[in-house]
Structure 1
Amino acid sequence: MKALEGVKVLDFTHVQSGPTCTQLLAWFGADVIKVERPGVGDATRKQLIDVPGADSLYFTMLNHNKRSIELNSKNETGKQVLTRLIETCDVMVENFAPGALDRMGFTWERIQEINPAMILASIKGFGPGKYEDCKVYENVAQCAGGSASTTGFRDGPPLVTGAQIGDSGTGLHLCLGIVTALYHRTQTGKGQKVSAAMQDGVLNLSRVKLRDQQRLAAGPLKEYSQFGEGVPFGEATPRAGNDSGGGQPGRILKCKGWETDPDAYTYFITQAAVWGNVCDVIGKPEWKDAPGYATPPERLDKLNEIFDAVEQWTMTKTKFEVMDICNPLNIPVGPILSMKELMEDEGLRKTGTIVDVEHPERGTYVTVGCPVKLSDSPVEVVRSPLLGEHTEEVLTQVLGYEGEALAAVIESGAVGDVRKEAAE
């Protein structure tokens, strides 16, 4: 049985943050009905096109296991259809600009009147405050949430990360909120509003840097490289390059082939518990007990020297050879894996983290499968829907329209050009 089987989700989301959330719900078994503008659909369908005439990877990789219905919510008949959808569904998810639902005539109060058990889940850029009406995109959220100011090297500008912690990260947070609200409803029978701000989500994922901000009041952050280099700290948590955030010194180091391969690197941590093994591996056994090297505090002002020595060794090995040598010795290391390497990884394919999907317009493509595994509720990744592919199916099977009533909805123009047959 699917974990969320029987739950109906009204998906009013677009681009990335909302679709990330609703895709997870769909993977866990919820019936996710994606509402899209007739003839247009989610903007990402036609963004970053790589196969002419087909939905983009941007769209397909965020909208698996969903049904698509075209609906003009400004059309009077469209409003009636939307009202029936709210009556029928358990959860409504939206990431419109602030106030958009209200302008459509579907305030929280109105939604509660229609369905008191409805859970309304929303993603916004900011929570209540002076920025709440501002528009937010991925990189804006990373900057406003503290990630960019603490990412990069000390002598360089702030940097955003390639991980979509603003959009996808907030979608993950909202999904947790929805499932929690569903659990609450089983005990109270009442729906509630669930909100997740992108700034809040990024800050939550950057909490160790907020930790370090407070630690500055007690003195310099000794695990940061700049302490060992004698560089004074300022008033805010600084950028720390590739230093480890957990207190154990670590850096990204070159491996064999780095001259031509931009990803021939490894992350190497000189964990205190295995310092002796590190010394043996890199050919510096004398450092094990030498004054100035024997204990972690003594090594703080010598980290550049130590990692230079480690790198001289890693440069003689491939990143995978470093793994093979260090793991049996409990030395924490990790290869810098490219997207190409991840896409071809047999282990990730075996677990369903990397999946091949067939699509009627674009053929086979590779996507990320569900990152959360449930032992009794396996996930099958189903391709994303074509625009309006399930309009008639939802009208008839979910909302109960038939005969003249169905014809009237279709003729009203509220639901676009109805596809009478699902795509092969």
Structure 2
Amino acid sequence: MGTQHHAPHGPAGVLDGVGPGALDGLRIADFSRVLAGPYATMLLADLGADVVKIERPDIGDDTRAWNPPADHEGTSTYFLSVNRNKRSVVLDLTTEAGLEQARALVAESDVVVENFRPGTMERLGLGHRELRARQPGLVYCSISGFGSGAGAAIPGYDLLVQAVGGLMSVTGDAAGEPVKAGVALVDVITGLHASLGILAALRHRDATGEGQHVEVNLLGSLLSAMVNQASAFAVAGVVPGRMGNAHPSIAPYETFPASDRPIAIAVGNDRQFAALAEAVGDPDLAADHRFRTNADRVAHRAALRDILTERLGASGADHWAAVLLAAGVPAGPVNTLDEAFAFAHELGLPGIVDIPAANANEAVGDPSRQVASPIALSGTPARYRMPPPRLGQHTAEILHRDSDHG
């Protein structure tokens, strides 16, 4: 797949970095690292917030070294994925001088985001209560793995949370072992919850002048994101298990082998099933007593799968996707990631954007390729002002400016 270019305006946002953002004037002191916190603050930065990323000397964010793959300067693509539109300041929080500089940064900020182990910021004198005593309007967001109570000492790694939080128990083939999601999905979900909580707290602050403490944790975020599976247990006492790509409540709603590769078919109602039966050349399936309703199809899932597998095996996934979509049946091939980006591009949806080096605020090298923000705002779209910063790239600029205003 070749380089994709997007128009300056539209769902992908604005590449020139000029113009109003929805969060213009908002400054965030970002002490977070790895994924959940940086993802939350990048979303806010895309919408105009000035995010100052506080990093450790020499090492910086752990993910800077999580490679391969890496860019031409050796920075991991993992780090690059969640740190655009931010400025990097190196502070040594083990020294009093570094802590004083951190307090000065916070004093100029509206929001603090941190995901240290619970209690760490308090020991540094940067805890919620101490900072809000000085700044009553401060919004302080803490992200943890398992909360600040009995689970405070448990390290918050995504794989661990997927395991103990139940996600792996419903992921994978029934006869196989539990499987994690292919990305750190819990961190991403938690980052979304954090950004939502921050915006809600800012709305309250704007109305009352009062800041507050926003707390999110990986385990709670995962349990919420388990939605129907979690509700099945909470309401009906059902403990779900692994079903491969099948759905516990809908059929057919899974992948099937076409002649070349798998195709996903997501039938959500009887009308769609009748259209599916017609499209695969077996219209009598819709009248079969085993398949008339969704409940019938779920009860006879195995028999239905066998029939559809035989029919779909006659042609390739792309053929069936075209036929089924034309018939109003949700269907599509199981794409690789390059194919997924190409598909989004064909549909005119956000994909990859290039941030010009001229907007990089002293960045060097090739333009930074980034995955576009999925949030489309008609009046204040996402703006790509800066690619992810080099470690400490803005230390002198920010500390000098802030000292001038002190």
Q: Does 1:389 align with 2:376?
A: no
Is the CA contact (8 Å cut-off) linking 2:260 and 2:317 kept in structure 1? no
Alpha-carbon separation, structure 1, partners of 2:328 and 2:277 = 13
Is the CA contact (8 Å cut-off) linking 2:354 and 2:370 kept in structure 1? yes
2:16 is matched with none
TM-aligned CA distance change 1:109 to 1:289, over 3 Å: closer
Structure 1 residues 279-308: Cα deviation after superposition (integer angstroms, max 9, x where no partner): 222222222323434333443443222222
Cα displacement (A) at 1:349 = 8.8
Structure 1 residues 377-404: Cα deviation after superposition (integer angstroms, max 9, x where no partner): 12233310111111121123344269xx
- Give 1:193-232 correspondences, 5 Å limit: 193-214=213-234, 216-217=236-237
1:166 is matched with 186
Identify which of 256, 264, 270 aligns with 1:253. 256
TM-aligned CA distance change 1:98 to 1:287, over 3 Å: same
Cα displacement (A) at 1:119 = 0.9
Amino acid at match of 1:244: H
Alpha-carbon separation, structure 2, partners of 1:35 and 1:292 = 61
Structure 2 alignment gaps of length 5 or more: 1-19, 358-362
Amino acid at match of 1:324: A
Number of residue-to-residue matches in the alignment: 380
Structure 1 residues 142-186: Cα deviation after superposition (integer angstroms, max 9, x where no partner): 122221112122222222111422111101110000000000000
Structure 1 residues 364-384: Cα deviation after superposition (integer angstroms, max 9, x where no partner): 554322122111112233310
Cα displacement (A) at 1:54 = 2.6
Q: Which has the higher contact order (CA 8 A, sep 6+)?
A: 2
Flag the structure with larger Rg: 1
- Give 1:244-283 correspondences, 5 Å limit: 244=247, 247-258=250-261, 264-269=262-267, 271-283=269-281
Identify which of 157, 179, 195 aligns with 2:177. 157
- Give 1:92-171 correspondences, 5 Å limit: 92-171=112-191
1:302 is matched with 300
1:17 is matched with 36
1:321 is matched with 319
Is the CA contact (8 Å cut-off) linking 2:263 and 2:331 kept in structure 1? no
Structure 1 alignment gaps of length 5 or more: 218-234, 259-263, 403-424
Alpha-carbon separation, structure 1, partners of 2:290 and 2:130 = 69
Alpha-carbon separation, structure 1, partners of 2:252 and 2:282 = 17
RMSD: 2.3
Structure 1 residues 206-242: Cα deviation after superposition (integer angstroms, max 9, x where no partner): 021112224545xxxxxxxxxxxxxxxxx62222221
TM-aligned CA distance change 1:17 to 1:292, over 3 Å: closer
Q: Does 1:44 align with 2:63?
A: yes
2:6 is matched with none
Could you say what secondary structure the match of 2:374 adopts?
coil
Is the CA contact (8 Å cut-off) linking 1:126 and 1:198 kept in structure 2? yes
Could you say what secondary structure the match of 1:120 adopts?
strand
Percent identity among equivalent residues?
29
Q: Mean alpha-carbon deviation: is it higher for 44-53 or for 169-178?
A: 44-53
TM-score, reference length from structure 1: 0.83
Cα displacement (A) at 1:120 = 0.8
TM-aligned CA distance change 1:299 to 1:248, over 3 Å: closer
Amino acid at match of 1:86: V
Is the CA contact (8 Å cut-off) linking 1:271 and 1:331 kept in structure 2? no
